Amino acid sequence: MASSLRILVLGTGGREHALAWKLAQSPLCDLLLMMPGNAGMEAFGINLPLDPLDFDSVLKACCAHKVDMVISGPEAPLMAGLADQLTAAGILMVGPTQAAARLEGSKVFAKQICAAAHVPTAPYKHFRDFDSATAYVHHVGDRSCVIKRDDPALGKGVILADNAHGAQSALSDFFGQQKGIYGAQPLPGVLIEERLVGEEMSFFALCNGTQAISLGAAQDYKRLRDGDKGPNTGGMGAYGPLPFMTPVLEQTIMDTFIYPILAVLKAQGMEYKGVLYAGLMKTDQGLVLLEYNVRFGDPEAQVLMVRLASDLVPLLLWAAEDERAPMPALPVWRKEAVLGVVLAAQGYPEVGVPSLSPIRGVEDIKEDSVHIFHGATARDSKGRLYGTGGRILTVVGLGSTLGESQARAYSALERIVWPDGQYRKDIGKCVSFKTF
């Protein structure tokens, strides 16, 4: 294993800040670069104000700084084929090829792979046009359902419809937009899924073609408001470890939702390398897959990185190298409970209007039991911190119990002064301790 590595982290959110924070602790990391980074990440290395989707700039930066390994926080570069280009240039990439990244980029592709791998998912119908989708919604009546765009949608392509009216509204919005978020291609259609009820979790594994290492699970809170009300967001908070996770359940998840997917992808000529994120739900019929993502979650990564006691770099190297690379030491986890709360801008997720008011108090929070990860932040000419987008900060607390970590996170949040912000007050409060 190389003893002096130059690592590039792509992205600008709280997830990427947490990754940079953890990577910077490794004795194997000689230089850390972030593209484009944010106001919090600049403490760990060099922020490169470049677009990760500009592959020429990425490759030039890798060459100029002699980068050994790249990890992408967001999914967009992976779906656009960055791993293919970096691998061809001899640079290690923690992330799947463009073909394998369709697990997140196309809901229909993911369903097809799941069927081949015998992975349990919700029943669904695929529609390519508005009229046929609308006719189906009216045919099934007022049963609640899930409407999903069949394209990358930055976490904004899923609507939970309580009745036919809500489903009709979602279909009108999706087909009315027509254009995909990552390009000018027409919307390839929508999936209408049976809506499942149960306990959700986000499960993560690092994969190296045919093998995988569990990174455990976190529970994410997607809805904007307390009590799981309001629109879906990219995530308003998370906690871990999960009280219901056991070694038996963890192995069951690996055997049911991770290894079979790797085997089917490999059989179809797509070796999957990098992070595989399985969004799961425990229903009365057992565990069911909600979705696959091809990267770490946000804010789950903030919780996972704080929980991880051992070095992250050997794990990422193994995931990026040839599948014949020897298995590294398994991750070691802290015993404490970890809980993170997202501070978002007013208006999120409907609008992303940058705030002009400075955020005060962040630098005054110095406890070892609290970590603050920046999202959409920058500094003005006077060095004052301000928000530039939707999710601004993730405030993470550690404690001997979940309640203690929760209290520390919220205590820190109350000392941050920003009138333009909003956050949920119940992260960790509605935890179910039902056994799986």
**pLDDT, tens digit (0-9, with 9 covering 90-100), for 331-359:** 999 999 999 999 999 989 886 666 778 99
Average pLDDT rounded to a whole number, residues 354-376 = 92
Under 8 Å between Cβ of 397 and 408: yes
Tell whether 32 and 72 lie within a shared domain.
Answer: yes
Tell whether 244 and 298 lie within a shared domain.
Answer: yes
pLDDT at 154: 58
Average pLDDT rounded to a whole number, residues 274-296 = 94
Q: How many CB atoms lie under 10 A from the CB of residue 147? A: 25
Question: Which CATH number is 395's domain given?
Answer: 3.90.600.10
Say what percent of the chain tops pLDDT 90: 72
Of the candidates 289, 246, 315, 338, the one whose C-alpha atom is nearest the C-alpha of residue 115 is: 289
- Chain mean position to CA 11: 12
Does residue 430 lie in a domain region?
Answer: no
Confidence class for position 177, pLDDT limits 50, 70, 90:
low
Does residue 431 lie in a domain region?
Answer: no
Confidence class for position 433, pLDDT limits 50, 70, 90:
very low
Tell whether 10 and 46 lie within a shared domain.
Answer: yes
Question: Which CATH number is 158's domain given?
Answer: 3.30.1490.20
Residues contacting 234, CB < 8 A, separation 6+? 154, 155, 298, 349, 390, 391
Nearest-angstrom CA–CA distance, 107 and 105: 7
Q: Which residues pair with residue 360 across a beta bridge?
A: 417
Tell whether 190 and 201 lie within a shared domain.
Answer: no
pLDDT at 259: 98
Tell whether 179 and 255 lie within a shared domain.
Answer: no
Tell whether 127 and 238 lie within a shared domain.
Answer: no
Q: End of a domain among 320, 353, 376?
A: 320
Number of domains the chain is built from: 4
Give the domain extent around 383: 337-422
Q: pLDDT digits over 295-314, tens only? A: 999 999 999 999 999 999 99
pTM (two decimals): 0.92
> Per residue in 384-403, is it b (16+ CB within 10 Å) or e — as a string?
ebbbbbbbbbbbbbbbeebe
Tell whether 360 and 414 lie within a shared domain.
Answer: yes
Does residue 104 lie in a domain region?
Answer: no
Q: pLDDT digits over 76-118, tens only? A: 999 999 999 999 999 999 999 999 999 999 999 999 999 999 9
Tell whether 165 and 274 lie within a shared domain.
Answer: no
Of the candidates 76, 12, 52, the one whose C-alpha atom is nearest the C-alpha of residue 387 is: 12
Q: What are phi and psi of 94, to 5 degrees?
A: -90, 90
Q: Which residue has the tokens 């699970």?
A: 217
Tell whether 201 and 289 lie within a shared domain.
Answer: yes
Confidence class for position 392, pLDDT limits 50, 70, 90:
very high
Q: Which residues pair with residue 218 across a beta bridge?
A: 202
Q: pLDDT digits over 195-219, tens only? A: 888 888 999 999 999 999 999 999 9
pLDDT at 175: 84
Residue 59 to residues 53, 92, 273, Cα–Cα distance (Å): 11, 12, 20
Does residue 325 lie in a domain region?
Answer: no
The DSSP code for 73 is S
- Chain mean position to CA 342: 14
pLDDT at 385: 95
Tell whether 213 and 299 lie within a shared domain.
Answer: yes
